Chain A
């Protein structure tokens, strides 16, 4: 099975460039004739989403292991902000936000007319209570980094103030994915039925499956669908079968294999959401690793045949990448020279670095997501052409996270949040970061990172962000050969489907059904 908890946990929100989005929508196979193109109200959308009965969570601030649960929660409750298309952060329950000059204090103004499903207006107190509750969960420090519970306060009825421990120009980015707002003082036992403020109202929920009905008074605009029925699927195969057999209208995140199967069917749309998942190879950069010399890392980055990797391990459902994580960020440095295969230069670099070609190097991988183990195997074959012997070692997911992740010299991994370069810099690249997978430590990089966070002027910050990406491209421990698309399958009549990668897939409030 190519569906695991970590895929679900990590498939983070991200953002595709506007151009890619348009292309994707057009390429979705949506029939565009006559009256079928006018959005119309009514109908029930039957959605399949992946999830496991053992991992069911109803707590909006809990550890959501199931895409199905997250989908239900994200339609019933609103976050402060949400992933967007033109900017990676757009308003949701918060209509606007402004920073102080030192970029530490951020004021969020709530949307006018926002109310809970029982009619009670949302106040800043509800938001403060919800954010503090989120901060108090075991993962709270990672979800709202740098923001102490005491530094989340209300200012009047409709303004929430967050004060960060340090200057953070990207703070609103943190409030997109799990800042679900509940009524102040909602008791733990009432969580499952607690009213939200989102576009849909919970009708019933049973063991991962749910029925949601339209919120007639949603502050965010008019919702067209009468109802959404969510069915939880354990395996992507069963979910693809259900959409092919017409039992459901949308199979969310069905994967490349299902996409290939459905490609021949005229009555099924294959929706591609670019930049959904990064599948990097991680090379440990610190002393004692065979990859400690940056020339070795560069050589490996020159050995990989990127288009072949995308074509063969992702069935073509993906794009070539350039060793910089955060490919869907509007500030992603597209102007950095695209690295391509160059075996001669790679061999020269290895020789200069005195790299031992006599031994075999282990590349540890898992089958956690589709294409991951395949990418390791194909890379090993490509490396052989440069005279490097790579042996692929497959580990079970639990073993991998216990023994290899953050420790190994050379392994594959995957990330689902790809719309922010800064996100990766803070989580995986800056010296001492919690998940510094390659143990990367670079003075210039750290300096660039600190400057990015402390710069208020957008143009100036953009320039510094490019410098940060240049260093990452040149010498980080990440060999990022490509990005996998997110693949949804939908019946021909479904329109207005989400096109953003990662958590963007749950944005079904604009969907409608053509006649």
Chain B
């Protein structure tokens, strides 16, 4: 059996390679889109010579591999390059990225708490009324896109009742001016993911219920909640952790939609605009930040699984 630290290193190395490949793909994909950053961000009045000058200024006249190499080698120093409009990408992301982490992180914590609670409640009495209600509700919640949830929340809690602010206004510090502005965006992200994860938890617990050690615990006459929390849940953790890790990606993806609808100042809105501008350094910068987070969470999930299931490189 290999020791813990090298295995983490191997996992990390593999994820890093994947990240570089992903970023290369982002560069290539942006290149395939029609038009380029020089034309997308210029005034309509600009002459062909002016456009060529802009193209040169932005380095777009150099081959793609060269541009990628320059960008990726600067990445470890924390330099994400310069946007097509001349702003440092790190400056563009310095306020939005923590905001998205706050939004996504809160939504993830809520998702974890809610889906574990609901999943356990449902698994406590398989086939009982609670189980059936949770099952149906979770399926419906997961089937609803963030867009639909957001519009529903907006209508009910803002435009009809006026209880919560409809849009996020930004304060002088770059974050939401008031915490109530976070409520609806967080809920819009949490609800669908809770639906998904509740089903994962419920199914993993059902699998565990059929294992010999859980059956033995039941035959020993242990109370139901003790069997569930002490005997079934630990075994279900690898599957559950993977479910949550997957949700991280979907939360960040959903943030693009939710941030736009609630005017939340996060990287989702930066990304949407950057794609329209063909602004490769900005797109790659957002992807690098998001991928770093997802990689971190996936790594954690891997470690949880490795710890529970036993060493498996």
Contacts and interface: CB of A to CB of B under 8 A. Distances in A.
Interface stretch (A233-241, A271-279, A321-329, A369-377): A233-241
A352 interface: no
Given A239-B167, A242-B166, A4 B46 contact: no
Most buried by B among A59, A233, A241, A248: A241
Interface in B26-52: 33-35, 39-47, 50
Interface stretch (B205-213, B229-237, B267-275, B289-297): B267-275
Contacts of B40: 5, 398, 401
B95 A234 contact: no
A245 interface: yes
A403 B45 contact: no
Given A53-B92, A138-B54, A434-B45, A247 B170 contact: no
A52 B41 contact: no
A270 to B, nearest CB: 17
B158 interface: yes
B92 A56 contact: yes
A197 interface: no
A353 B54 CA distance: 44
Interface in A216-269: 231-235, 237-239, 241-242, 244-248
B45 A435 contact: yes
A427 interface: yes
Contacts of B247: none
Contacts of B172: 204, 206, 211
Contacts of B263: 231, 233-235, 238-239, 242
A247 B169 contact: yes
A436 to B, nearest CB: 12
A396 interface: yes
B28 to A, nearest CB: 16
Contacts of A396: 34
A167 to B, nearest CB: 21
Interface in A388-402: 396-399, 401-402
B76 interface: no
A18 interface: no
B137 interface: no
B170 A141 contact: no
B159 A139 contact: no
Contact of B92 (A48, A54, A248): A54
B35 A206 contact: no
Nearest to B278: A398
- Which of A10, A52, A397, A403 neighbours the largest number of chain B CB atoms within 10 Å of its CB? A52
B254 interface: no
B32 to A, nearest CB: 11
A141 B54 CA distance: 13
A57 B87 contact: yes
Given A141-B50, A206-B170, A435-B45, A53 B96 contact: yes
A53 B41 contact: no
Contacts of B159: 241, 244-245
B174 interface: yes
Contact of A138 (B50, B269, B272): B50
B57 A52 contact: no
A209 B269 CA distance: 14
A62 interface: yes
B282 interface: yes
A290 B96 CA distance: 50
Contacts of B50: 138-139, 141-142
Contact of B270 (A1, A54, A397): A54
A207 interface: yes
Contacts of B261: 235, 237-238
Given A138-B53, A239-B167, A245-B167, A4 B265 contact: no
A55 interface: yes
A242 B167 contact: yes
A65 interface: yes
Interface residues of A, number: 55
Interface string B287-305: 0000000000000000000
A56 B87 contact: yes
Contact of B44 (A10, A234, A242): A10
A139 B85 contact: no
A60 to B, nearest CB: 13
Contacts of A237: 261
Given A55-B277, A63-B43, A245 B86 contact: no
B260 interface: yes
A508 to B, nearest CB: 18
A303 to B, nearest CB: 28
Contacts of B92: 53-54, 56
A143 B83 CA distance: 22
B220 interface: no
B244 interface: no
Contact of A434 (B41, B47, B83): B47
A231 B165 CA distance: 14
B167 A62 contact: no
A6 interface: yes
B284 to A, nearest CB: 12
Contacts of B46: 138-139, 142
A24 interface: no
A55 B85 contact: yes
B270 A53 contact: yes
A143 B45 CA distance: 8
Contacts of B53: 138
Contacts of A52: 269-270, 272-273, 276
A308 interface: no
Given A204-B172, A435-B45, 12 more contacts: A53-B269, A53-B270, A54-B279, A55-B277, A139-B50, A211-B172, A231-B170, A234-B263, A234-B272, A238-B167, A242-B169, A245-B162
Interface of A: 1, 4-6, 9-10, 46, 48, 52-59, 62-63, 65, 138-139, 141-143, 204, 206-209, 211, 231-235, 237-239, 241-242, 244-248, 396-399, 401-403, 427, 434-435
28 contacts: A52-B270, A52-B272, A52-B276, A53-B273, A54-B271, A54-B272, A54-B279, A55-B41, A56-B85, A62-B86, A138-B54, A139-B42, A142-B46, A143-B43, A143-B45, A231-B167, A234-B273, A235-B260, A238-B263, A239-B263, A244-B166, A245-B166, A245-B167, A248-B167, A248-B169, A398-B34, A401-B39, A435-B45
Interface of B: 33-35, 39-47, 50, 53-54, 57, 83, 85-87, 92, 95-96, 154, 158-159, 162, 165-167, 169-170, 172-174, 259-263, 265, 269-274, 276-279, 282
Q: 4 shortest A-B CB distances, which residue pairs?
A: A52-B273, A54-B273, A142-B45, A398-B35
